[in-house]
A = this chain, B = another copy of it.
Amino acid sequence: MTVQRVSRSSRSTAFKEVRSRLRSRGLRWTPQRRALIDVLSATDGHVTGAELVELCRDRDPETTPSTVYRTLEVLEEIGLVKHSHGRDGRQEFHIAPASEHGHAICENCGEVRELSEGDVAGLVGSLGKRGFAVDLSHLTVGGLCPRCGNSGVPLA
């Protein structure tokens, strides 16, 4: 069970746009794809593939893993979805935010928070000077959040 504190504000793509985005590539708008997008939008943050399969099954018990994973692949191709990997190595998916940003993850309670531009400016600049072009969507930092780190009362 992972707490998510990522703001819901930075959602990107308008919902109906997806249909046309798919069709313009000769791809199709199916109930299963719609369902998955629904599920993804309902989550605030980073959900594993397996979890998405489960969540889709809550709506339609017939849902199969292959469809979910293949749909995720398609949605990632058209830029609607991104994925990364969690501590345990499983894929974590989320709707692509309007602007890229890094993440800070509490190693104790799992809370995820987005990094601001200011947070990462130094790192981006420092690496940039050495010719390394930072990809903010792949910037992850672990640590202890205020609740877990300061008090002597780690939750888990």
Contact = CB atoms under 8 A, between A and B. Distances in A.
Interface of A: 85-91, 102, 104-107, 113, 115-116, 118-123, 126-127, 130-135, 137-146, 149-150
A16 to B, nearest CB: 31
A84 B79 CA distance: 27
A115 B124 CA distance: 11
Contacts of A106: 132
A111 B75 CA distance: 28
What is the copy number of this chain in the assembly?
A: 2
Given A87-B85, A89-B91, A139-B140, A131 B149 contact: yes
Contacts of A102: 141
Among the interface residues A91, A106, A120, which one has the most CB atoms of the partner chain B within 10 A?
A120
B145 A132 contact: yes
